[in-house]
Amino acid sequence: GSGGVLWAIMGGMGIGLPPVIHFGSDYLKQKVARKCLMGEEFICLAISEPYAGSDVANIRTTATKDPKTGDYIVNGEKKWITNGIFADYFTVAARTGGPGIGGISLILLEKTMPGIECTQMDCMGVWPSGTTYITFDNVKVPKENIIGQENA
């Protein structure tokens, strides 16, 4: 059978929610964990990119701090994101510092934030998994949505 059905049921939550539970603030845990575990809302992990694939150390998506507010402005692209088309939340790996793995942070984005566009990809055999191409265009994200420590 197709793995796409299983991925559709558990794929996004199984990899997108653990970083929030293990490293997120109490605020983030309260905001998303219960709703996702109850099946009321959905989350996915957004790391892979068109130009870096799963080479996390070389991702290009950026989360730049607004010097006035401390909030983040996210720009970039993610590709091959399981459940992205269905997700209410994205656990996003973004460059917040210098080159390499030490300059990357995880940050929670919400699909309703202006500047996020999702397109379902036509992937043979895994169509039900909602594999998605996502773009972030000047997405304003509250500083409270950082997961864990910046650049860690």
Residue pLDDT tens, the chain, 152 long: 566 666 566 677 788 999 999 999 999 999 999 999 999 999 999 999 998 877 899 999 999 999 999 999 999 999 999 899 999 999 999 999 999 999 999 999 999 999 999 999 987 767 677 889 999 999 999 999 999 999 98
User: Chain centroid to CA 64: how far?
Assistant: 16
Kindly report the pTM of this predicted structure. Answer: 0.92
Reading the block at residue 80, the tokens are 């091959």
Torsion-angle region of 118 (φ positive above 0: left; ψ -120 to 50: alpha; else: beta): beta
Contacts of 29 (CB under 8 A, 6+ apart): 20, 21
Calpha distance 30→21 (Å, rounded): 10
